[in-house]
Structure 1
């Protein structure tokens, strides 16, 4: 993975925090200085914590589990959705439904309902409906798709959350804590880094800042997926070699028995020939 440099973060405006009067004192260890009434984030710590988060999230993905992206603020929606889709990971960019994690069984029912509506819309039944009924079904499908489309393929709880704005997504964080799901998050100077497991101090308002951090996490996930594929290929190769070895061993054991049987048969034929003579 190409490592981000200090200058990359600087150019993306990752270091710009909020007004000093809006700060959360618990973010103090990650603040470099105050300038013109704005807190400046220590980018060396951002780089260090981003690397730590990347390594941890890579191992989660390597084990075959999913990471859910969560970003409902407007400037983060597009970049987060694009990265999640590219990696085939679940995402929430419209609205966090209360209980999306803690009441996942109910959410799955809604996902099944959305799936059944999509299936019905491809059949003749939908075509034969009255115009008003078709409109109602279409609207319901669009509503479900808007809220749940990003998690349509999610069959079980995610193994981790990647969040853009800690204050905005506090409900998602609370649900993750309740279930013991680790949270990776961009944490600005107006937020408490202690509420997440892997805080990444950075500007969570500017598009460029959100994009550069999200894409760095995306590359770590991509690496995890590649390593998982390699692990599976290596395991398959190992199993094939083991099977071949077992076949070879069995063949070696059968060979002496075949030779002995052939010898016995030859001796028997010789004996029969003597008797006939």
Structure 2
């Protein structure tokens, strides 16, 4: 009798355990399915946020496809000045020298150029004002035409300090640019362009081509490169235009979608 009762209790406890496990299994499965759905929804939400927010995207405007290392080499961006004119702060961007002429390391130039183009595209996307500047005579017509073609502004004449002297020049305050692009950081007679100093004083970001005789520390987005050859300057201006127009095109697409 005792053995029968023990066998009966064991069967009942086993049946109860099996029933509880069987009854809880669908609940566990449903919970796992629900958690998978939630995680999938979160992934889709995060993906949409990344797609909609340019700041969360690695290359929202696809500027890396605009220029390659081969393009820079073919346009002679690696030629610097003679070694005696080297600015000490540019030494980190110099690969070596040949016939007493410094050779710029284009492996360092390319990612810095991509960052500068990406920055300009973001400024354009946010409807910022971009100002092209130069005092190099051979660059003036190229710079003015590039600014006109992309709907921005250029200042290639004598600098009357319009950033810090707006009241005296215009009689009222004006909107300052959100970014400045320099194709040449020097102004006659081979001195630093005053707009570089004014931009630093007013915290206006700057993008500039920095040859081996330039100081890259005073530029927000320096691009180590030859800054003299008109063909190369035209090449860079085309890239700047493409980045600015890419930002404006994305802005138009967003406004139409909204």
Same fold (TM over 0.5): yes
User: What are the superposed Cα offsets for residues 66-107 of structure 1, whole Å, 9 maximum, x if unpaired?
Assistant: 11000121111111111100011110112222x211122444
Aligned length: 191
What residue in structure 2 maps to residue 151 of structure 1?
none
Is the counterpart of residue 158 in structure 1 residue 177 in structure 2?
A: yes
Is this contact kept in 1: 2:131–2:181, CA < 8 A? Answer: yes
Moved over 3 A (4+): 105-110
- Quote the RMSD (CA, aligned, Å): 1.8
Give distance in 1, aligned partners of 2:125 and 2:233.
24
How far residue 170 of structure 1 moved from its aligned partner, in angstroms, is 2.7
What residue in structure 1 maps to residue 87 of structure 2?
24
Is this contact kept in 2: 1:24–1:190, CA < 8 A? Answer: yes
What residue in structure 2 maps to residue 194 of structure 1?
217
Give distance in 2, aligned partners of 1:107 and 1:191.
30
Give distance in 1, aligned partners of 2:119 and 2:202.
18
How far residue 155 of structure 1 moved from its aligned partner, in angstroms, is 5.4
Is this contact kept in 2: 1:67–1:89, CA < 8 A? Answer: yes
Is the counterpart of residue 203 in structure 1 residue 226 in structure 2?
A: yes
What residue in structure 1 maps to residue 252 of structure 2?
229
Residue correspondence of structure 1 range 1-277 to structure 2 within 5 A: 2-97=65-160, 99-109=161-171, 156-168=175-187, 169-235=192-258
Unpaired stretches in structure 1, ≥5 consecutive residues: 111-153, 236-277
Unpaired stretches in structure 2, ≥5 consecutive residues: 1-62
- With structure 1 as the length reference, what TM-score do the two structures score? 0.65
Give distance in 2, aligned partners of 1:230 and 1:107.
38
- With structure 2 as the length reference, what TM-score do the two structures score? 0.70
Structure with the greater relative contact order (CA < 8 A, sep ≥ 6): 1 or 2? 1
